[in-house]
Structure 1
Amino acid sequence: MNSVSVRALLVRGMLAGLAAGVLSWLVSYFLGESKVDAAIAFEEAHEAAAAGGAHEHAEELVSRTMQATAGLGTAVGLFSIALGGIAALVFCFVLGRIGRFGVRATAALTAGGAFVAVSLVPFLKYPANPPAVGDPDTVGKRTTLYVLMIVLSLLLSAGAVILGRRLAPRLGNWNASVVAGAVFVVAIGLAFAFLPAVNEVPADFPATLIWQFRMVSLAIQATMWTAFGLVFGVLAERVLTPAPAGTPAARSAAVPS
């Protein structure tokens, strides 16, 4: 694949990431913000009870409305654009190396693998928590553990792909994929066992609320990667698949500039 194609796919990956970010923001706004507000209300009620009912609201530098709309949208958008660009580069590397899949199928597999490695596996070990959950003094430790889990998941995913490719000539594609997947699951299980657990949920925090918040967090990630895989597959196919002769696109490409 030449540098022009890689550059074109990178741009389209970022555009697909932007589209995925918009959909993720909609899911976050309509499904997640009510859970955040409920968690904040729980935290404020506890602070008021601890202060004997005389809790004073600190002046907000940024209002909740701004946080939930422009602030959240900007953060999700930038995050999705960055991930879209990285995923596009991964797509360029794996295209044709993981089997005889078409462009759209490879894009879908790339997005699915990214969801598992970057979102699902770290979530299973260190799930997202709403406000009022977690000790502020341990935020650095919790962030480090979460990033470490992402790195381990990515490395083990890459190792599983390499193992599957090396076993394929002897076992066949299906059996090699099953063996590589089983090795990946075992390795992730060992990582889960040896990495320290984090459980800082207050005893009286509503279990339903934290469950709903975590499910929405996972739904946001699933929406982002699903949308990216679908949109990027279409955009990448237009770059890599020549238009049939006689079509308007082919005729315009044939006209010298």
Structure 2
Amino acid sequence: MAVETWTQRLGRGAIAGSAGGAVSAVVLWLAVEPSITKAIDLENAAAEGHSHGDDGELISRTTQLIGGTVTSIVVGVLFGVVFAVVYARSQHRLAGFTDLGRSVSLAALAFSVVALLPALKVPANPPAVGDPGTVNDRTLTYLAIILFGLVLVGVSFAAAQAVRRRTERAELWWAAGICVAVVGGALILYLAPSGNVDIPATMPASLVWKFRIGSLGQHAAMWLGIALAYGALAHRRSLARQPSEAPATAAWAE
């Protein structure tokens, strides 16, 4: 049986990542972009009374949309490659009985750590919302939450393994890991500096939350796309390896 090379694994991850990035771009166009457009219109309307000239757009919205689409796909490919590396190293520890199930499990972990956990403390904001002077602090807080979230994943798996050495009941393994993850996640959110910003009176709160939910949905769509594509490709490879064992079995039967 041929041993799978890292080139094949990374290639599969890149393909899955491009699929996830494409799905993310679709969500960008359908769910996020309308909120951005409305926010920009409100910002321009509020600034009309203070304008002293026609400056015009430095970069057109069409160009920004194209750039956002390309960025979504590139980011998806990069995350897909990382996904392939982590999957290869940890698939035996992931929940699920198939390649697809394990891929979805890993994607759920990635989404929780990279998107959901930091978004609960530092939510995304549309244009005209937020103080530019706090961007660096918010970014550092966001990255710190991701870093501690990754550490928490490792600690949760270690806790599950510690319980596994003491009992054969699988439900207790997962209960230990989940409890550590929930308590640790709550502690991270409690200790992290607040990333909330004041919403201008001219900006409807419903629009801000629609943008935040759409942005989070974009992350979820990317990770789901990566999981489904990678799981399907991994399953296809597993099926392709099975016929190589059939001739030996048939010859023995004869």
In the superposition, the TM-score normalised over structure 1's length comes to 0.87
Pick the aligned partner of 1:115 from 98, 111, 120.
Answer: 111
Determine the structure 2 residue equivalent to 1:106: 102
CA shift for structure 1 position 92: 0.2
Q: In 1, distance between residues paired with 2:63 and 2:76?
A: 20
Q: Deviations over 1:193-229 (max 9, x none)?
A: 1111022232412111011111111111111111111
Letter matched to residue 40 of structure 2: I
- Over 3 Å counting, the alpha-carbon distance change for 1:110 and 1:239 in structure 2 is same
Determine the structure 2 residue equivalent to 1:22: 22
**Is the aligned partner of 1:218 residue 2:216?**
yes
The gaps in structure 1 that reach 5 residues or longer are 252-257
Determine the structure 1 residue equivalent to 2:251: none
Pick the aligned partner of 2:232 from 224, 231, 234.
Answer: 234
Give 1:1-257 correspondences, 5 Å limit: 4-49=4-49, 51=50, 54=51, 56-68=53-65, 70-98=66-94, 101-171=97-167, 172-204=169-201, 205-245=203-243
- Over 3 Å counting, the alpha-carbon distance change for 1:99 and 1:12 in structure 2 is same
- Over 3 Å counting, the alpha-carbon distance change for 1:237 and 1:173 in structure 2 is same
User: Which region of structure 1 is more displaced relative to structure 2, 237-246 or 125-134?
Assistant: 237-246
8 Å contact kept, 1:5–1:239: no
- Over 3 Å counting, the alpha-carbon distance change for 1:198 and 1:241 in structure 2 is same
Question: Equivalent residue of 2:5, what SS?
Answer: helix
The gaps in structure 2 that reach 5 residues or longer are 248-254
Question: Equivalent residue of 1:130, what SS?
Answer: coil
Letter matched to residue 230 of structure 1: L
CA shift for structure 1 position 48: 2.4
Q: In 2, distance between residues paired with 1:155 and 1:164?
A: 14
- Backbone CA RMSD of aligned residues: 2.2
User: Which region of structure 1 is more displaced relative to structure 2, 80-89 or 37-46?
Assistant: 37-46
CA shift for structure 1 position 23: 1.1
CA shift for structure 1 position 106: 1.4
8 Å contact kept, 2:152–2:181: yes
CA shift for structure 1 position 34: 1.0
What is the identity percentage for the equivalent residue pairs of Structure 1 and Structure 2?
32
Q: In 2, distance between residues paired with 1:148 and 1:165?
A: 26
In the superposition, the TM-score normalised over structure 2's length comes to 0.88
Q: In 2, distance between residues paired with 1:179 and 1:129?
A: 35
Letter matched to residue 183 of structure 2: V
Q: Deviations over 1:16-37 (max 9, x none)?
A: 1101111110111122111001
Question: Equivalent residue of 2:165, what SS?
Answer: helix
CA shift for structure 1 position 58: 3.0
Q: In 2, distance between residues paired with 1:163 and 1:78?
A: 35
8 Å contact kept, 1:98–1:165: no
8 Å contact kept, 1:104–1:230: yes
8 Å contact kept, 1:32–1:216: yes
CA shift for structure 1 position 119: 1.1
The aligned length equals: 244
